[in-house]
Amino acid sequence: MKQIYLDHNATTPIHPEVLEAMLPFLRDHFGNPSSIHWAGRAVAGAIEQAREQVASLLGCRAAEIVFTSCGSEGDNLAIKGTVDALRGQGNHIITTEVEHPAVLETCRYLQERGCRVTFLPVDRRGALDLEQLESAITDQTILISVMWGNNETGNLFPLAEIGAIAARHKVCLHSDAVQAAGKLAIDVRAAGIDLLVLSGHKIGAPKGVGAVYIKNGTRLSPLLHGGHQERNRRAGTHNVASIVALGKACELAAAGLATYRQQVRRLRDRLEDGILATIPQVHLNGHPDRDLRLANTLNISFAGIEGESLLLNLDLHGIAASSGSACSSGSLDASHVLRAMGLESSLARSSVRFSLGAETTEEDIDHVLEVLPASVQRLREMSPVYKA
């Protein structure tokens, strides 16, 4: 059976050129980049090259990039590191109700320890009210944290406008760009961002590596204490091969950005149009303006059925998709993102996320469009709650 992978927001396959780039660092170059001898020097240069490659994707300087073990670590570092460094200045954080758990749970953790956190609501489309954001700022506010692209709906947030607000009030701005980096153009300087997080496994590098952009001059305490790696901002011997891979993945993403967006967007729109045209009682979750969503993401609720049942059904046909985020699959709770958008709980539980990738083909999409209507129909016929 043909396998069709439409869960790229959960993780992506390693790009063949990325694998090629990292292999010598697993096989031959084993040195510790902090060592001064030949074995260390052989890998230290590769780490610095990777730093340049990541910086170039984001429009910053290499010295402003710190490597981490994943996107979640990056978000923890950005948020806890700011709160710790700016302890004397204030204790209020502004974020949104639709962040990834790496941000939400970090903020809740800090809330239990005395921080005040404002979780901004979103409207039915999943959009923020920027006036509400601005009026939430007080003289105690030390951090605004808003994601660039939402992992479940693909919704994009206007970081440049938020950057202007943050600058006006001189508040530090963090963005979780794990889903956006490598999928669309990001210029951290133009957007006025102080801290930005990305993760390797969403863009063709392996799992377990990420990076944080820390604007020159930003006050940030480290999360990991120990050695002097990463200019004292992140202790721990470098994961050399994965860092090399992340650098290569960023280089490839930067070079292929326009093609990726165009190609993936065309296929995503084909899937979206096909579903809306052939299946009754479906609800698009996310911004109706497709320009305001990640080009690869489509989130749809199929009234009357459980998203999980539909996923199992699709899986029998070799189609991999997901309901919301990978880390909460298996949980029966409706997605916090869809609930924040005001979707009633049964409709939220009937949602399925399709996230395409660079290797997705037109045949893949057509196959899904062949299988999906009959699967939905069959599940609805068995459903005690569905009314045609």
Ligand X SMILES: Cc1ncc(COP(=O)(O)O)c(C=O)c1O
By CB under 6 A, residue 71 contacts ligand X? yes
In the complex with ligand X, which residue's Cβ is closer, 183 or 215? 183
Can you tell me which of 254, 257, 326, 371 binds ligand FES, judged by CB under 6 A? 326
In the complex, the smallest distance separating the C-beta of residue 205 from ligand FES, rounded to whole angstroms, is 15
In the shown chain, the binding pattern of residues 146 to 185 toward ligand X, with x for contact by CB under 6 A and - for none, equals -x---x------------------------x-xx------
Q: Among the options 60, 70, 250, 327, which is catalytic?
A: 327
Query: Which range binds ligand FES by CB under 6 A, 45-53, 73-81, 205-213, 321-329?
Result: 321-329
327 is catalytic: yes
In the complex, the smallest distance separating the C-beta of residue 298 from ligand FES, rounded to whole angstroms, is 17
Q: Whole-angstrom Cα distance, residue 266 to residue 263? A: 5
Query: Which range binds ligand FES by CB under 6 A, 77-85, 127-135, 206-214, 324-332?
Result: 324-332
By CB under 6 A, residue 69 contacts ligand FES? no
Q: Encoding tokens for residue 264?
A: 């993936």
By CB under 6 A, residue 96 contacts ligand X? no
Say if CB 150 and CB 179 are below 8 A apart.
yes
**What secondary structure, in 3-state letters, does the chain show?**
CCCEECECCCCCCCCHHHHHHHCHHHHCCCCCCCCCCHHHHHHHHHHHHHHHHHHHHHCCCHHHEEEECCHHHHHHHHHHHHHHHCCCCCCEEEEECCCCHHHHHHHHHHHHCCCEEEEECCCCCCCCCHHHHHHHCCCCEEEEECCCECCCCCEECCHHHHHHHHHHCCCEEEEECCCCECCECCCHHHHCCCEEEEEHHHCCCCCCCEEEEECCCCCCCCCCCCCCHHHHCCCCCCCHHHHHHHHHHHHHHHHHHHHHHHHHHHHHHHHHHHHHHHCCCEEECCCCCHHHECCCEEEEEECCCCHHHHHHHHHHCCEECECCCHHHCCCCCCCHHHHHCCCCHHHHHCEEEEECCCCCCHHHHHHHHHHHHHHHHHHHHHCCCCCC
In the complex, the smallest distance separating the C-beta of residue 114 from ligand X, rounded to whole angstroms, is 25
Say if CB 388 and CB 380 are below 8 A apart.
yes
Q: Encoding tokens for residue 15?
A: 């790009």
Binds 79, which of ligand X, ligand FES, none (CB < 5 to 8 A, cut-off by type)? none
Can you tell me which of 327, 374, 382, 385 binds ligand FES, judged by CB under 6 A? 327
Binds 70, which of ligand X, ligand FES, none (CB < 5 to 8 A, cut-off by type)? ligand X
By CB under 6 A, residue 102 contacts ligand X? yes
In the complex with ligand X, which residue's Cβ is closer, 31 or 286? 286
Considering CB under 6 A, how many residues would be counted as binding ligand FES?
A: 5
By CB under 6 A, residue 243 contacts ligand X? no
In the shown chain, the binding pattern of residues 353 to 382 toward ligand X, with x for contact by CB under 6 A and - for none, equals ------------------------------
In the complex, the smallest distance separating the C-beta of residue 176 from ligand X, rounded to whole angstroms, is 5
By CB under 6 A, residue 325 contacts ligand FES? yes
Say if CB 378 and CB 304 are below 8 A apart.
no
By CB under 6 A, residue 72 contacts ligand X? yes
In the shown chain, the binding pattern of residues 90 to 109 toward ligand FES, with x for contact by CB under 6 A and - for none, equals -----------x--------
Which residues carry out catalysis?
Answer: 327
What residue ranges bind ligand X (CB under 6 A)? 70-72, 75, 100, 102, 147, 151, 176, 178-179, 199, 210, 325
Residues that bind ligand FES (CB under 6 A): 10, 101, 325-327
